Chains A and B, each alone.
Chain A
Amino acid sequence: MTMVHRRRRASTPRRLGRLALIVATCAFLCLFLLVPLASVFVEAWRQGAHAFLESIDDPDALAAIRLTLFVALVSVPLNVVFGVAAAWAMTRFTFRGKALLGALIDLPLSVSPVVSGLLFVLMFGAQGWFGPWLAAHGINIIFAVPGLVLATIFITLPFVARELIPLMQAQGTEEEEAARVLGASGWQTFFRVTLPNIRWALLYGVLLSNARAMGEFGAVSVVSGHIRGLTTTMPLEVEMRYNEYNYVGAFAIASLLALLALVTLAVKAALEWRFHADTDVVAAARRRGT
């Protein structure tokens, strides 16, 4: 009897604590995420739809949008190929230096983006290692589009591989071995067995690396040179307009980037829902199996 009584009395402070934590979390998220996000859209539309549309329908803004899309379109597919290859190597083979490779894949996440940008300037800039050779052959990398693409690839390198490695580790190699014994070639095994098993995680990785590719500021800022209409991506254009006190213009483009983030978030949530259904099956099979 006393036990029950005691437990009941203890539950009231516990309920209060739970409520306090939930309220604190929500308040924090509102203050630091929702309000700023909403303010981006409010600022962008402050002077009405006309001003908003005008600041987007402007040659420099359109060039920035095109360049951003181009950079993402080049870097994301390359990262898919690299990410799948790296995940395959990390989970299907044992070799010397595997731990080192794992650490290298994560390197871009732990290095400051500005440092990453400077690395490329150091290599390909006018004073850099390959600078004179490149200049002699008339190839521009720094302060030109190739530099932007290179920096973006570097920054987004880990996203696909990091999504795939844990999943492929959990799924193991048995299905692929079964396919081989059944007579499938290496490519058939990949396209008919491996790829379908990792498709949701892969898509999720693509989404993350796309969001980062379009939103990257630091590394891109270092190699860009801020040439309007030529080497300015959307985040850089936002900064430049802001520095010119063109608030509506800056927030108009910022709102497009924010919209991209929201769409990414929504698709990510949908994928996670799908993807979890898949991994639950894996987990359940493993529980039953062993």
Chain B
Amino acid sequence: MTLALKQLTRQFTELAALDDVSLDIEPGEFIALVGPSGSGKTTLLRILAGLDYPDRGTVMLNGRDFLAANARERNVGLVFQHYALFRHLSVRENIAFGLRVRPRKRRPPRADIRTRVDDLLKRVQLDGLGDRYPSQLSGGQRQRVALARALAVEPEILLLDEPFGALDAQVRTALRRWLRELHEDLGLTTVFVTHDQEEALELADRLVVMNRGRIEQVGSPQEVYQAPATPFVCEFIGRTNKVALRRDGDAWRAGAWSIPGPGTAGSAVAYIRPEHLALAAADGGPGWDAQLRHIYLAGSVAHLDVHVAELDLSLEVDMASDQLGGLAPGALLRVAPLHGVAFADDCTRWAWGTGLA
């Protein structure tokens, strides 16, 4: 059941929506396509749904040509960001749609359709709302109807295009967890498009980070977060501090701090996560003298805005709130990066510290 995408390319008038994209999607996997708008993730999803076709490249499912089948033959379920419910049909009829339009031979009898719809209503926790119309439901309820409608045809692959993008934060978090459970219950292969990296990290087995029609990195949430492969991934997934480095003999240097590293290029950029900057008392260890400007308390974590005068740079430092002690704005600190990833001008990548590849 492996879905093998090979060298997909899709060109819109000016812009390459997909540029040589290859990817294997394993059965039962929950995969998130994540990237900014215009990165090609929705185009990729529409190609899988049969609503768009690549200019070049192939998609094979178990060795048969998936692109040769049209949208109605693919047996995929698709959920849109704006639900796309049939507004003139009741919830019940929306869910039954995919079964009712089947050719007579494959169409289940009326009674079976009814029980299947009832089961699905229960599964998406909308029992009792079957006779309502889409306009009478909240956004979260509508999206669950859309999911039930997609699941009614028993698809092998579930495709979701920013399904929670139009919902408010609380509903979104609740639906996320629920979707993940549903995916595990039904043993589906799920492809999920989102521009919300947090959502992708939380939900997916594997992340596909996309930018300008290309895949930047594929990996588990942990891999992508802890060992970003490209500068784009560093900046797009999670938060990060950017520090410019200069070549200094065998090492790379930024102000008073330096680190040994490979390469012959003249300059590089280091990406350091806020939680990988350590605070120490203002003594002589390697690091930068800095002044605390502001503390943004976000529950269990505190985000510290720290200014390094010698680099003329503001850094974000994360620490556990209960470790703050008597820290107050204006305090003089010493900051040292424990882990980081750096990219030299000639594209050499290296990492330092533990836990990073």
Residues of A within 8 A of B (CB): 174-175, 177-185, 188, 192-193, 196-197, 278, 281-282, 284-285, 288-290
Q: A174-B80, A285-B135, A288-B139 are in contact. Are A181 and B97 (CB under 8 A)?
A: no
Contact indicator A289/B166 (Cβ below 8 Å): yes
Interface stretch of the complex, out of B81-89, B269-277, B348-356 = B81-89
Residues of B within 8 A of A (CB): 49-51, 71-72, 74, 76-78, 80-89, 97-98, 101-102, 134-135, 139, 146, 149-150, 153, 166
Q: How far is the CA of A171 from the CA of B87 in the complex (A)?
A: 10
Main secondary structure of the interface of A (DSSP, over half): helix
Q: How far is the CA of A289 from the CA of B89 in the complex (A)?
A: 19
Contact indicator B49/A182 (Cβ below 8 Å): no
User: What chain B residues lie within 8 Å of A184 (beta carbons)?
Assistant: 72, 97, 101
A283 to chain B, nearest CB (A): 11
Selected from B80, B102, B166, the residue in CB contact (under 8 A) with A178 is B80
Q: How far is the CA of A281 from the CA of B142 in the complex (A)?
A: 14
Considering the complex, give the chain B residue whose CB is closest to the CB of A281: B135
Contact indicator A182/B149 (Cβ below 8 Å): yes
User: What chain B residues lie within 8 Å of A180 (beta carbons)?
Assistant: 50-51, 71-72
Selected from B51, B98, B134, the residue in CB contact (under 8 A) with A182 is B98
Considering the complex, give the chain A residue whose CB is closest to the CB of B51: A177
Q: Would you list the 9 A-B pairs with minimal beta carbon distance, nearest first?
A: A182-B98, A174-B84, A184-B101, A196-B88, A289-B82, A178-B84, A183-B72, A181-B78, A180-B71
Most buried by B among A188, A281, A285, A290: A285
Q: How far is the CA of A278 from the CA of B110 in the complex (A)?
A: 29
Considering the complex, give the chain A residue whose CB is closest to the CB of B52: A177
Q: How far is the CA of A45 from the CA of B149 in the complex (A)?
A: 61
Known: A177-B49, A183-B153. 19 other contacts (CB 8 A): A174-B82, A177-B71, A177-B78, A178-B78, A178-B80, A181-B72, A181-B76, A181-B150, A183-B101, A184-B72, A188-B101, A192-B101, A193-B86, A196-B89, A197-B87, A282-B87, A285-B134, A288-B166, A289-B82
Q: How far is the CA of A174 from the CA of B78 in the complex (A)?
A: 11
Selected from A175, A182, A197, the residue in CB contact (under 8 A) with B101 is A182
A107 to chain B, nearest CB (A): 29
Q: How far is the CA of A196 from the CA of B94 in the complex (A)?
A: 13
User: What chain B residues lie within 8 Å of A281 (beta carbons)?
Assistant: 87, 135
Q: A177-B51, A178-B80, A185-B72 are in contact. Are A284 and B135 (CB under 8 A)?
A: yes
Q: A174-B80, A281-B135, A285-B135 are in contact. Are A183 and B87 (CB under 8 A)?
A: no
